[in-house]
Amino acid sequence: MKNILRILHYIKNYKKYVFANILFNLLYVFFSLFSIVMIIPFVSVLFGLVSSPKVCPEFSLNKQVIIDYFSYYINYYKDSQGFFTCLIYICGAFLVLSFLSNLCRYLGMFFLSPIRNGVIKDLRNDIYKKITILPISFFSNQRRGDILSRMTSDLADIEWSVMTSLQMFVKDPLMIIIYSCALFVASWKFVLLIMLILPIPLFLIKKVGESLTRNSIKGQQKMGDLLSYSEEALSTIKVTKSLNAEKTIENRFFKHNKIFTTIKTKVIARQELASPLTEFFSIMMLSLVVIGGGLLVLKHQMHPSVLIAFTLIFSRIISPSKELITAYYNFKKGESSAKRVYEILNASEKIVEKQDAIEMKDFQKEIKFENVGFEYNTKEDSFSLQEINLTIKKGEVVAFVGSSGAGKSTLFDLIPRFADVSQGKITIDGIDIRDFNINSLRKNIGLVTQESVLFNNTIIGNIAFGSDREVNIDEVIEAAKIANVDEFVSKLPNGYYTNIGDRGLSLSGGERQRLCIARTIFRNPKILLLDEATSALDTENESLVSQAIKNMMKNRTLLIIAHRLSTIVNSDKIVVLDKGRIVEVGNHQTLLEKNGYYTKLVKIQKI
């Protein structure tokens, strides 16, 4: 239950609502108990079952004094006002107590609502914030569908199984405790008898709860699988249809959906067992109370009115006991979801910003890799990059080439700190990039990836996305023209205010990539990283965009990853990578003269 307790820790932000909730629940329990206890003298005196005292006793918190006190006044009003009038007064008093009781119960729920919704809101914010700051390596080992499941179905499960049970965990324990105190006053011997029998049902309830937790964890994992398969089916629908593989993915989904349904059925079966199990044990114990109390009454060791009061109070404990056990089962069910949520919240933030991090305000001289090594998994002792030593001067155009898996994209990830070096260091103007404020570092770096990443927004919204300055339409159009975007945007129905839909799928591949380049140009970064950025463009647009980028490269530094060597022959420096190491460095001509690995790549592509 430790994860549930961590979630409940969020309640501290809503102290005033917690206080109000507890207050009104206390009042609810008090009015409910008061109405029950007063039944005994009302009924006993009103119908002549017992005789009232001749003199009104001085009121004190004593069981017999309280009974005598009310008995005296009930008898007084019966004699002075008449039986029927007194009965009307008593019924009116009960109606008032009932109204106050239910009003306080409602107000307790009313003040619980902002606690419940606020905690889930804070938890959702923390999860989203955590996801945005986790390193890229975390997501390479996770399925997107499973992460979405934790943010949606797991949080919904926590809300309905945990937060909705908060009222039960406040009101019902208060009711059980206060009612139990009243029972103890009525007959402490009976209370001890109940406590001796209580461990048996509690043991059975605990066993059912443990089974519920195990199956809930399996169920949430399967829900993550189902969301992953659904997301995969949507993103690969064209390829699936071309391969006639609809039946294959259907059968896989149906199989896991059947398993999920079976597990969910078990969870519901055990969860629904809470109420009848609790009710059975409560009725069993109530029967023992009636039998034991009846024997004491027959032996004149207990007054009949006390037995009636004891039985009524004990019967009122049955309902909160049922709800409390149900809440316990809900908590056990929610524990599995809380555990999955905290797997994200507890994930190691490998990219940690120093407390005294400095702002990167400008880029003046050089980027330097000093004996840099990087490994994704330290346990495997397998380095993706090893002994990288390289200096990139300001204003240089540096291309990185090599076969797939050589480490080019990994090297790019290290510069904006999507991942941190495992050994060595990367410096900008002599300062280790780990000493910079991360946001200021990334503000000076523009990245265009091979995959066109766009948002369900307008053209202008995508180009200016993430900008921390006021958007000027003229600046947007200027960036669009440089990236050769203005030509196709002018043909759209609403121009720059046209919404491009989910992931920009209403545009062609080349248009999407040019839009991504325009977004980077708009940010006007000091350092540009182009990871196969022109691969989605046709020959004409590739030439136009490459020329445009080159034209705006004055006082800027450009790093390019390219498989098509024809696009980088004019680079100031070409860095050749193989198996995570730098094997050659030079310009196109000098590398050809070496007749090494680069020459081999050139011959393969015949440029």
pLDDT, tens digit (0-9, with 9 covering 90-100), for 163-188: 666 766 677 777 777 777 777 776 67
Question: Which residue is associated with the tokens 């937060």?
Answer: 163
Q: What is the pLDDT, as a whole number, of residue 368?
A: 94
User: Which whole number is the average pLDDT over 137-152?
Assistant: 72
Q: Could you report the per-residue pLDDT of 408-452, keeping only the tens digit for each?
A: 888 988 998 888 888 899 999 999 999 999 888 988 888 887 777
| Residues 379, 382, 388, 394, Cα dihedral to 10° | -70
Asked whether 305 and 182 are in contact (CB, 8 A), the reply is no
Distance in Å from the first CA to the final CA of the chain: 65
How far is 34 from 2, CA to CA, in rounded Å? 37
User: Which whole number is the average pLDDT over 12-36?
Assistant: 84
Asked whether 55 and 327 are in contact (CB, 8 A), the reply is no
Which of 111-115, 450-454, 479-483, 535-539 is modeled with the greatest confidence? 111-115
Q: What is the pLDDT, as a whole number, of residue 501?
A: 76
State whether residue 112 is helix, strand or coil: helix
How far is 73 from 53, CA to CA, in rounded Å? 10
Asked whether 44 and 305 are in contact (CB, 8 A), the reply is yes
Percent residues over pLDDT 70 in the chain: 70
303: confidence class by pLDDT, cuts 50, 70, 90: low
Asked whether 357 and 438 are in contact (CB, 8 A), the reply is yes
Structure letter (DSSP) for residue 586: E
Q: Could you report the per-residue pLDDT of 235-293, keeping only the tens digit for each?
A: 666 566 666 677 777 787 788 788 878 877 777 776 666 667 666 776 777 777 777 77
Q: Which of 206, 329, 207 is nearest to 267 (CA)?
A: 329
Q: What is the pLDDT, as a whole number, of residue 43?
A: 60
- The answer to whether the Cα torsion of 356, 360, 365, 370 is positive or negative is positive
State whether residue 65 is helix, strand or coil: helix
Task: Supply φ then ψ for residue 457, to 5 degrees.
Answer: -155, 180
The total of other beta-carbon atoms located within 10 Å of residue 463's CB is 29
Q: Could you report the per-residue pLDDT of 92-132, keeping only the tens digit for each?
A: 877 888 888 889 888 988 888 888 888 888 888 888 888 87
How far is 334 from 119, CA to CA, in rounded Å? 14
Which of 65-79, 284-298, 521-535 is modeled with the greatest confidence? 521-535
Q: Which range, of 19-33, 271-285, 288-302, averages the lowest pLDDT?
A: 271-285
Asked whether 433 and 426 are in contact (CB, 8 A), the reply is yes
423-428: strand order across its sheet: 383-393, 366-375, 423-428, 431-432
- In the beta sheet, which residues pair with residue 445? 527
How far is 603 from 445, CA to CA, in rounded Å? 33
Stretch (H or E) spanning 507: none
Q: Which range, of 14-23, 397-406, 541-550, averages the lowest pLDDT?
A: 541-550
Token readout for 563 is 């498989």
Token readout for 214 is 């195990």
How far is 430 from 432, CA to CA, in rounded Å? 7
Between 548 and 519, residue with greater pLDDT: 519
Token readout for 399 is 């291309």
Question: Which residue is associated with the tokens 């306080």?
Answer: 104
Q: Could you report the per-residue pLDDT of 350-404, keeping only the tens digit for each?
A: 777 888 889 988 888 899 999 999 887 654 555 688 889 999 998 888 999 888 8
Token readout for 566 is 């024809």
Token readout for 397 is 């155009």
The total of other beta-carbon atoms located within 10 Å of residue 250's CB is 12
Q: What is the pLDDT, as a whole number, of residue 203?
A: 67
Mean of all residue pLDDT scores within the chain: 77
Residues in Cβ contact with 531 at an 8 Å cutoff, skipping those fewer than 6 apart: 408, 409, 412, 447, 448, 449, 450, 561
Q: Which range, of 49-53, 78-82, 251-255, 348-352, averages the lowest pLDDT?
A: 49-53
Residues in Cβ contact with 365 at an 8 Å cutoff, skipping those fewer than 6 apart: 393, 394, 429, 430
Structure letter (DSSP) for residue 53: P
Q: What is the pLDDT, as a whole number, of residue 427?
A: 93
Q: What is the pLDDT, as a whole number, of residue 5?
A: 74
Structure letter (DSSP) for residue 401: E
465: confidence class by pLDDT, cuts 50, 70, 90: confident
Q: What is the pLDDT, as a whole number, of residue 377?
A: 62
Q: Could you report the per-residue pLDDT of 183-239, keeping only the tens digit for each?
A: 777 667 667 766 666 666 666 666 665 665 566 666 666 766 776 777 667 666 656
Question: Which residue is associated with the tokens 């009116």?
Answer: 92
Q: Is 592 exposed, middle or buried (0-12, 13-18, 19+ CB in 10 A)?
A: middle
Stretch (H or E) spanning 317: helix 304-345
How far is 302 from 309, CA to CA, in rounded Å? 11
What is the chain's alpha carbon radius of gyration, rounded to the nearest angstrom? 37
User: Does the pTM exceed 0.85?
Assistant: no
Query: Is residue 461 pLDDT above 80, yes or no?
Result: yes
Q: Is 71 exposed, middle or buried (0-12, 13-18, 19+ CB in 10 A)?
A: buried
How far is 583 from 387, CA to CA, in rounded Å? 11
Task: Supply φ then ψ for residue 376, to 5 degrees.
Answer: -75, -35
Token readout for 429 is 């103007």
How far is 342 from 6, CA to CA, in rounded Å? 9
305: confidence class by pLDDT, cuts 50, 70, 90: low
Question: At residue 573, what is the residue type?
Answer: K
- In the beta sheet, which residues pair with residue 368? 391, 427
Question: What secondary structure, in 3-state letters, does 221-289 show?
Answer: HHHHHHHHHHHHHHHCHHHHHHCCCHHHHHHHHHHHHHHHHHHHHHHHHHHHCHHHHHHHHHHHHHHHH
- In the beta sheet, which residues pair with residue 559? 398, 529
Q: What is the pLDDT, as a whole number, of residue 540?
A: 66
Q: Could you report the per-residue pLDDT of 548-564, keeping only the tens digit for each?
A: 566 556 667 889 887 77
Q: What is the pLDDT, as a whole number, of residue 575?
A: 92
Q: What is the pLDDT, as a whole number, of residue 391?
A: 93
Q: What is the pLDDT, as a whole number, of residue 236?
A: 65
Asked whether 154 and 220 are in contact (CB, 8 A), the reply is yes
